[in-house]
Amino acid sequence: MEKGQVNLLMLLLFLSVCSASDQEWWKAVISARNGSSMLINGVGSSILFPIHGNVYPTGYYNVTINIGQPPKSYFLDLDTGSDLTWLQCDAPCVHCIEAPHPLYQPNNDLVVCKDPLCASLHPPGDYKCESPKQCDYEVEYADGGSSLGVLVRDVFSLNYENGIQLSPRLALGCGYDQIPGTSYHPLDGILGLGKGKSSIVSQLKSQGLVQNVVGHCLSGRGGGYLFFGDDLYDFSRVTWTSMSQELTKYYSPGIAELYFGEKATVAKNLIVIFDSGSSYTYLNSQAYQTLTVLLKNELSGRSLKEAPEDQTLPLCWKGRKPFKNVSDVKRYFKIIALAFTNTGRTKTLFELHPEAYLIISKKGNVCLGILNGTQVGLQNLNVIGDVSMQDRMVIYDNEKQKIGWSPANCDQLPTPTSKTCNM
């Protein structure tokens, strides 16, 4: 019997003892191996990436992704606050910033101007095809940084968490003109994880390769993991709230009010978004002033004193001796929470324990990782950043239009929860 016949017989025997859902999943896997697209019917596999970096002192998290033929490695910053994935690109490059790897060499597979992906990158009333054979883009970020370039398609070398490889052709930006922002650091590019058509997970969904779900787990000790798909968590153990139907551009649970030590404050009607591209959490001026006054009152008479000489962050405190970690000082600080109103009168709390809003500076002082967003141009927007998402799994479920979170060990990669039949 030939090798191919043996493999086929083994597969038929395997499918005969697996459940129906497992059979559907393996049919999808076979399809992925053969390079075709097939919707994974809610059972499929997730794509998993180890994360590198930390909130402080590094100031960002990134993943390594292999792109091109032959594949080359690039470090991409995670950003749930934007859609487009782009690389600094030798097209040639007009203005590129320092990068960990050589600039991306684009192929000739240009995305044309009339492609729906191109249209999704431009405001509806400002979409003109001045260059029909290519798609020009420009993205700007809250810190003043930007990228200008053209859209191309190339092969992404990815792996399901079970080891199955796939090589879809996906659209990305070839950025030939970058302006660094205030949070500048050397980077190859940005991994856009937003809700739009151009985001990587949306493109993978359109090819039937994963469900349109993004999740990340950022470790307070550095590192963590990122995943696309819906089989790496138990839905029933996650705290969920609905995505806003008004703020559709962002991952937003809508309007919140600020709690301090389990009591509501005067800071209400806060427009909140989740943004993994922001190291710190930001409140608008009114909410920030409310919080800092409450904190200072709470610490009055304690052994902590303000340390204006420490410029790590705007508000720091020092003790009788340097602190080594937040555990040394957490007893002085209360739990903060953002309360989101769901349908009816029920409220969902996103709690911030001291570890989720404090850092220890290099000088051994404790600093507030919640900043004044109005001062940095966020106007009335309130941003939940990386510092407040540490040591919990945060999930953006675009299929069910929900955002969820659950305490997690982000130092350990997860295993699938929905598949019990192995091959």
**pLDDT of 239-255, one tens digit each?**
999 999 999 999 999 99
56 pLDDT above the threshold of 70: yes
Model confidence at 184, pLDDT cuts 50, 70, 90, reads confident
Question: What is 186-238 written as a DSSP string?
Answer: --SEEEE-SSSTTSHHHHHHHTTSS-SEEEEEE-TTS-EEEEESSSSS-GGGS
- Residue tagged active-site, from 22, 79, 154, 188: 79
* 300 class by beta-carbon count within 10 Å (0-12 exposed, 13-18 middle, 19+ buried): exposed
Residues 6+ apart with CB under 8 A from 277: 77, 78, 79, 80, 81, 82, 141, 190
pLDDT of residue 43: 40
**pLDDT of 73-105, one tens digit each?**
999 999 999 999 999 999 999 999 999 999 999
**pLDDT of 262-309, one tens digit each?**
999 999 999 999 999 999 999 999 999 999 999 999 999 899 999 999
The arithmetic mean of pLDDT across residues 365-394, rounded, is 97
The arithmetic mean of pLDDT across residues 381-409, rounded, is 98
pLDDT of residue 415: 83
Q: What percent of the chain has pLDDT over 90?
A: 80
| Both structure tokens of 75 | 């470090």
Backbone dihedral angles phi then psi of residue 41, each to the nearest 5 degrees: 45, 35
- Residue tagged active-site, from 275, 310, 391, 397: 275
pTM of this structure: 0.89
4 pLDDT above the threshold of 50: no
Token look-up 């859902």 returns 21
CA dist 322 and 330 (Å) reads: 14
Q: Which residues pair with 132 in a beta bridge?
A: none
Q: Helix 20-33 to helix 3-17 angle, to the nearest 10 degrees?
A: 150
410 pLDDT above the threshold of 60: yes
pLDDT of residue 384: 98
Backbone dihedral angles phi then psi of residue 31, each to the nearest 5 degrees: -60, -40
pLDDT of residue 44: 53
Catalytic (active site) residue 79: yes
355 pLDDT above the threshold of 80: yes
The arithmetic mean of pLDDT across residues 372-400, rounded, is 97
Catalytic (active site) residue 275: yes
| Both structure tokens of 63 | 């993943």
User: Which residue has better confidence, 126 or 406?
Assistant: 406
21 pLDDT above the threshold of 70: no
Among the residue ranges 116-130, 187-201, 344-358, the one predicted with the least confidence is 116-130
Model confidence at 18, pLDDT cuts 50, 70, 90, reads very low
7 pLDDT above the threshold of 60: no
pLDDT of residue 344: 63
30 pLDDT above the threshold of 80: no
Instruction: Report the phi/psi class of residue 223: left, alpha or beta, with left for phi > 0 and alpha for psi in -120 to 50.
Output: left
Cβ neighbours around 177 below 10 Å, total: 16
240-276 in b/e form (b: 16+ CB < 10 A) is bbebbeebeebbbbbbbbbbbeeeebebeebbbbbbb
Q: Which amino acid is at 263?
A: K
Q: Which residues pair with 259 in a beta bridge?
A: 264, 337
* 388 class by beta-carbon count within 10 Å (0-12 exposed, 13-18 middle, 19+ buried): buried
Instruction: Report the phi/psi class of residue 190: left, alpha or beta, with left for phi > 0 and alpha for psi in -120 to 50.
Output: beta
159 pLDDT above the threshold of 90: yes
pLDDT of residue 130: 83
pLDDT of residue 139: 96
DSSP 328: G
Using DSSP's 3-state secondary structure scheme, residue 347 falls into strand
Q: Which amino acid is at 29?
A: V
pLDDT of residue 343: 64
6 pLDDT above the threshold of 70: no
pLDDT of residue 32: 45
